[in-house]
Amino acid sequence: MPVVSKKPGDSFLITGRVNNVGNVAIDLGLAPVLVGPKTYGLSVKWYGVIPAGGFSLIYQSDKIPSDAPAGTYHLYMAAIDRADGKEFQRVDTFWDIKVEVAPPAVKKIELLSVSVS
């Protein structure tokens, strides 16, 4: 699986194509879902009505939550039906996002070659 490295608060961009392979039109929204040390459902972007057999190109940005602990998160896209606001499918993107958190600042010295007389 491809992996991209990010820090909490960093933006990421998802691009691709969504095909409606069902037999009814969908008023489609997509929301990234990160599953890892914590699970995050991120903001929904509405793409409009996609007819049965139709498609939409997606171009969606979001941010890694600022409180995300370090670790690897698998990226899914939740498909939301605007008619009822409910998730009807979760699609695997086959991408991982590795969140790297800087270690906390430490003030520490090492004292060498001391002589006292």
Q: How confident is the model at residue 111 (pLDDT cuts 50, 70, 90)?
A: confident
The pLDDT assigned to 18 comes to: 94
**Is 50 a member of any domain?**
yes
Indicate which CATH number applies to the domain containing 33: 2.60.40.3880
Give the structural domain span for 79. 3-99
The pLDDT assigned to 96 comes to: 97
**Is 53 a member of any domain?**
yes
Q: What's the pLDDT tens digit per position in 40-83?
A: 999 999 999 999 999 999 999 999 999 999 999 999 999 999 98
Q: Calculate mean pLDDT across residues 89-100.
A: 96
**Is 110 a member of any domain?**
no
**Is 91 a member of any domain?**
yes
Return the amino acid letter for 98. K
Q: Calculate mean pLDDT across residues 95-99.
A: 97
Could you give the number of structural domains in the chain? 1
For residue 115, pLDDT over 90 is answered with: no
Q: What's the pLDDT tens digit per position in 24-41?
A: 999 999 999 999 999 999
Q: Which residue has the tokens 């990421």?
A: 12
For residue 113, pLDDT over 90 is answered with: no
Closest to 102 measured CA to CA, from 8, 11, 3, 5: 8
Closest to 70 measured CA to CA, from 15, 10, 12, 14: 10
DSSP for 37-72?
SSEEE---EEEEEE-TT-EEEEEEEEE--TTPPSEE
For residues 48 and 109, what is the distance between their CA atoms, to the nearest angstrom? 59
The pLDDT assigned to 109 comes to: 84
